[in-house]
Amino acid sequence: MKQVVTHLSLRPVRRNPQTGQPERLLSFDYRYTPGAGKAAARGTAARPHATRSVLASGDWYKLGVAESGIYKLDKTALLDVMGLKTLQGINPNNLHVYGNAMGVLPQPNAAPRPDDLAENNVLFVGNADNVFDDNEYVLFYSPGAHTWEAQGGIFKHRNNIYTDTTYYFVTVNSTAGRRVPTAAALAATSTTPTITSFTHRAFHEHDLLNLMHKAGSSGSGSGRNWVGESMANTGQLEIPFSSIPDLLPGTPIRVTSSVVANSAAASAFQLTLNGASLGSQPLDAKPNYEFGAIATVSTVTKQVALPAPGEVLRVGLSYSSGDPGAVGYLDYLEINAQRQLLLSGAQLEFRSLSNIAPQALNRFELANATGAVVWDVTNPAGPWPAR
């Protein structure tokens, strides 16, 4: 069996640190001494596979959702999804919703991933009989196509470059479907920290242009990195993040900006948030030797506290370069801002990075929440949501 023992990577071109001239590696020697340590375990473990997909039997109905949140399937929606005129004979207790919403799949093929569609916990709201009545409905949670991960005290988005829609598969058979369980309340003590605010997160990323396509003469692009809006030298752009109620005044709002420049001279973006300066984001000139990068990239996180943030956060970018023909591109923007923990709409997705040590216990105080139900969607890919 082939076994990975080590990886060797080397850079065959470099710029000479003394002369600045590009150099190409013509030959090299190496000596290999196997160590006594354990060999890398990657790629050698056999992964179990289902013998057949759940889709192999029964009638299945596909539906797509665009954003994260709790979705409602009432009788009208189900008739539409299933293409039926009546739900007669459809037992709501035996309704199943399958789907593997996990964002973009991992790039290394040895990384674990679901082998087949997994069944999701859903909440059926209605009586216990076997009839789908007019006022009854099913709720399920979806994280959407793009996912987030905590990194360095803020949330970073993982743009799904392959789809902006997450698909679910509905079937009704003769077995009971998985339902959202009710979680036991945890006992808070007098020392349990109380959380009354949460991190609102949002991103803006439009994949509009492949710079390798633009640079190449073959007419084909390359790579997974696409950039968005472009700005000529001295150009400006404003990206609004709207409908963000209950922002806490005076707390730092973090803006992550990822930009790209195609400029023969050093250039910079000036960043603002609702008119307040976030400072400058400088970029190097692109190298002018053969096989050099076709553009330079910069990603920074800046912050500013706004005394009256309002409900719309507008990120302003203006681009300037010593090269009059330069073009600057926005790759993406991310917002991390503190909001009051207050149920102001039909649903609210909230999370907090404060006091997240192992076994840590927190008391979340959700205002305006009389009669509200809280779902734990920490790990939507299973164990499944509880309420």
Residues 253-282 that bind Ca ion (CB under 5 A): none
Q: Which is nearer to Ca ion, 137 or 169 (CB)?
A: 137
Could you say whether residue 129 binds Ca ion (CB under 5 A)? yes
What is the C-alpha to C-alpha distance for residues 220 and 12, in angstroms, rounded to an integer? 25
What is the C-alpha to C-alpha distance for residues 106 and 346, in angstroms, rounded to an integer? 33
Residue 5's alpha-carbon distances to 1, 38, 55, in angstroms, are 12, 9, 39
Q: Which is nearer to Ca ion, 17 or 223 (CB)?
A: 223
Q: How is residue 306 written in tokens? A: 């706004």
Q: How is residue 149 written in tokens? A: 């991960």
Could you say whether residue 365 binds Ca ion (CB under 5 A)? no
Angle at CA 174, nearest 5°, toward 171 and 177?
Answer: 60
Stretch that binds Ca ion, among 65-73, 130-138, 315-323, 354-362 (CB under 5 A): 130-138
The SS3 assignment for 339 reads: strand
Smallest separation (angstroms) from Ca ion to the CB of 212: 13
Smallest separation (angstroms) from Ca ion to the CB of 224: 9
Q: Which is nearer to Ca ion, 74 or 207 (CB)?
A: 207
- Which residue from 286, 328, 331, 375 is in contact with Ca ion, where contact means CB under 5 A? 331
Stretch that binds Ca ion, among 44-52, 298-306, 325-333, 355-363 (CB under 5 A): 325-333
Smallest separation (angstroms) from Ca ion to the CB of 253: 22
Q: Please say whether the beta carbons of 338 and 199 come within 8 A.
A: yes
Q: Which is nearer to Ca ion, 117 or 335 (CB)?
A: 335
Q: Is 291 left (phi over 0), alpha (psi -120 to 50) or beta?
A: left
Report strand pairing: 363-364 vs 194-195: parallel
Q: Which is nearer to Ca ion, 78 or 377 (CB)?
A: 78
Smallest separation (angstroms) from Ca ion to the CB of 349: 24
Among 193, 316, 319, smallest CA distance to 255 is for 316
Among 248, 195, 192, 199, smallest CA distance to 364 is for 195
Block residue for tokens 């404003």:
238
Q: Please say whether the beta carbons of 143 and 70 come within 8 A.
A: no
Q: Please say whether the beta carbons of 194 and 365 come within 8 A.
A: yes
Could you say whether residue 238 binds Ca ion (CB under 5 A)? no
Smallest separation (angstroms) from Ca ion to the CB of 227: 6
Measured from each CB, the residue nearest to Ca ion is 133
Residues 288-307 that bind Ca ion (CB under 5 A): none
Could you say whether residue 334 binds Ca ion (CB under 5 A)? no
Q: Which is nearer to Ca ion, 91 or 192 (CB)?
A: 91
Q: Which is nearer to Ca ion, 133 or 365 (CB)?
A: 133
Smallest separation (angstroms) from Ca ion to the CB of 178: 18
Query: Site for Ca ion (CB under 5 A): how many residues?
Result: 8
Q: Which is nearer to Ca ion, 36 or 128 (CB)?
A: 128
What is the C-alpha to C-alpha distance for residues 376 and 146, in angstroms, rounded to an integer? 19
Q: Using the 8-state DSSP alphabet, how is residue 366 labeled?
A: -
Print the binding letters for residues 191-230 with Ca ion: x by CB under 5 A, - otherwise.
Answer: ----------------x------------------x----
Backbone phi, then psi, for 76, in 5-degree steps?
-60, -45
The SS3 assignment for 82 reads: helix
Smallest separation (angstroms) from Ca ion to the CB of 208: 9
Could you say whether residue 131 binds Ca ion (CB under 5 A)? yes
Could you say whether residue 133 binds Ca ion (CB under 5 A)? yes
What is the C-alpha to C-alpha distance for residues 140 and 181, in angstroms, rounded to an integer? 12
Q: Which is nearer to Ca ion, 207 or 323 (CB)?
A: 207
Q: Point out which residues bind Ca ion (CB under 5 A).
A: 126-127, 129, 131, 133, 207, 226, 331
